[in-house]
Amino acid sequence: MKFSTQLNKTISQQARDLIDRGLDRHIRLAVTGLSGAGKTALLTGLLEQLLYANDSQNLPFWQVKQQQRLIGSRLVPSEHWSVARFDYEAAVAALTAEPGRWPHSTRDVSEIRLEIKYKPAGGLASKLSEQRKLTLDLIDYPGEWLLDLPMLEQSYQQWSEQQSRLMQQQPRRDIFSGWLKRLQESQHNSQDDDAALRRLAEDYRQQLQRCKTEFGLYFLQPGRHLLPGELADAPALDFFPWPQQLRLSNRWQQQLQEKYDYYQQQVIKPFYKNYFQGFNRQIILVDLLTALETGEAALSELKLAVSELMKSFQYGNNPLFRRLLAPQIDKVALVASKADHVSPDQHPAMRQLLAQLLQGSRQQLEFNQIQHQLFSVAGIAVSKPGQLNDGTKVLDGVIADQQPVRVGAPPVPDSWPNQQQWQQGFAYPRFYPAFTMAQSPLPHMRLDQLLDYMLGDKLR
Ligand code: GDP
């Protein structure tokens, strides 16, 4: 009798193991977007909802929670010891400080691991096992790094030609004019080539930074010039594109070429091999509202940059990209961020504008049979929408000096704005976090829909 109970136990354990192995028990979900898109805030918000889901009243569309199958989640150490851990605790500490601050933005790749325990939804698995565990790695990395992918197919000469063409258009022509002069002078006068190239590369980097911060440009290469990660100050970054209107000395030609080749082989490729190849699912964040505020040129650049970035998910028939990307990614969420800058009735417009911006890339995803969906979310919602008696939509929040304010909720165009709209311009309020720890899980908008799309099928 005792023996047969033992045997039954062993058989059921074996059956359980078999099912476990047959099911996906581990998923690597990556979050990216250009700097300032809201990656840090989104990851913090996702972690808040995942870790404290059972305390939340605001996850109606996350089915595992609504069906009362979610047992709980906890942080566990990651196995990837060489990758920085996403500093969730520091992010929450900043958001709940007095006065509240936004956490530091993404500068490098980082990740964090959770275990989610849940009850299976039904069928054979639910009879055999009371509970299951999903290991979830969340990875945060700068979208700028994906902008470098096309460089792998370009020689230094081809890349320089492309960048020179860009530099001849405004506002880049003005931005780079001083750098161009200094480059010309250095080539004639320099005694020390190494030092001159280093100085000019740093100068070029500063102009790229100005393109971003002063002019809202997004299509900026090489990506590591803006977000170097562990390569900050490394000689690997001492290169820049050669302006085609200038003659290049043979000495400099060779040095720049060598650095460019190194960058292709030792910086761009390893990122794809060591990180990207392992991702199963991807969230791509796009900050439409800041581009709308900056103006038409910025929105055009955002469209160009995000379309370039999306090429990493469109390996298609390109043998180099196919080998390098070796894609595992089967689902992509295209997400308009900071949705709490507007009232919820504008969220469909945000998604429509995003859909229009990414039309070509979405077709490519379909062609590659990668599922995708559009979302509008706030990782951390710092404003509360409301409505006055006359129907006016308003937003309540606090501004920089912690003063509470109420502002009229601004509209979002649901397609590319016309000239009149551009002339009127767009402006969105900047609210600050003002939370206490007791408010955890911190408020969000539509993260439940995002979680359900990204993880729902793995939590059945
Ligand atoms: P990252 O560079 O992609 O990591 O961007 P961050 O997450 O650091 O966000 C950049 C800035 O955008 C923050 O400092 C906030 O000012 C703002 N932001 C990001 N997410 C949200 C959000 O969900 N709501 C609001 N209102 N602002 C946000």
Strand order in the sheet with 393-398: 384-387, 393-398, 404-408
Give the pLDDT of residue 325: 79
Give the pLDDT of residue 21: 44
- Among 233, 252, 272, identify where a domain stops: 272
Query: Are residue 280 and residue 396 in the same domain, yes or no?
Result: yes
429 lines ligand 1 (CB under 6 A): no
DSSP three-state, residue 80:
coil
Mean predicted confidence (pLDDT) in 111-129: 81
**Residue in 337, 377, 384, 435 to alter for ligand 1 test, most ligand atoms within 8 A of Cβ:** 337
**Residue in 105, 346, 430 to alter for ligand 1 test, most ligand atoms within 8 A of Cβ:** 105
pLDDT of residue 434 exceeding 90 = yes
- Among 232, 255, 272, identify where a domain stops: 272
Q: How many domains does the chain have?
A: 2
Give the pLDDT of residue 15: 58
| Ligand 1 centroid, distance to 33 Cα (angstroms) | 11
- Cα(217)–Cα(221) distance, rounded to whole angstroms? 11
In a domain, 9, yes or no: no
Strands (E), 273-399: 281-286, 331-336, 371-376, 384-387, 393-398
| Ligand 1 centroid, distance to 69 Cα (angstroms) | 32
40 lines ligand 1 (CB under 6 A): yes
In a domain, 338, yes or no: yes
Mean model confidence pLDDT for the chain: 91
pLDDT band at 324 (very low <50, low <70, confident <90, very high): confident
Range of the domain at 178: 156-272
Query: Are residue 289 and residue 369 in the same domain, yes or no?
Result: yes
Q: Give percent of the chain with pLDDT exceeding 90.
A: 80
220 against 22, higher pLDDT? 220
- Among 240, 272, 304, identify where a domain stops: 272
Helix (H) or strand (E) holding 406: strand 404-408
Give the pLDDT of residue 3: 46
Helix (H) or strand (E) holding 139: strand 132-140
pLDDT of residue 16 exceeding 60 = no
Query: Are residue 71 and residue 214 in the same domain, yes or no?
Result: no
| Ligand 1 centroid, distance to 447 Cα (angstroms) | 15
341 lines ligand 1 (CB under 6 A): yes
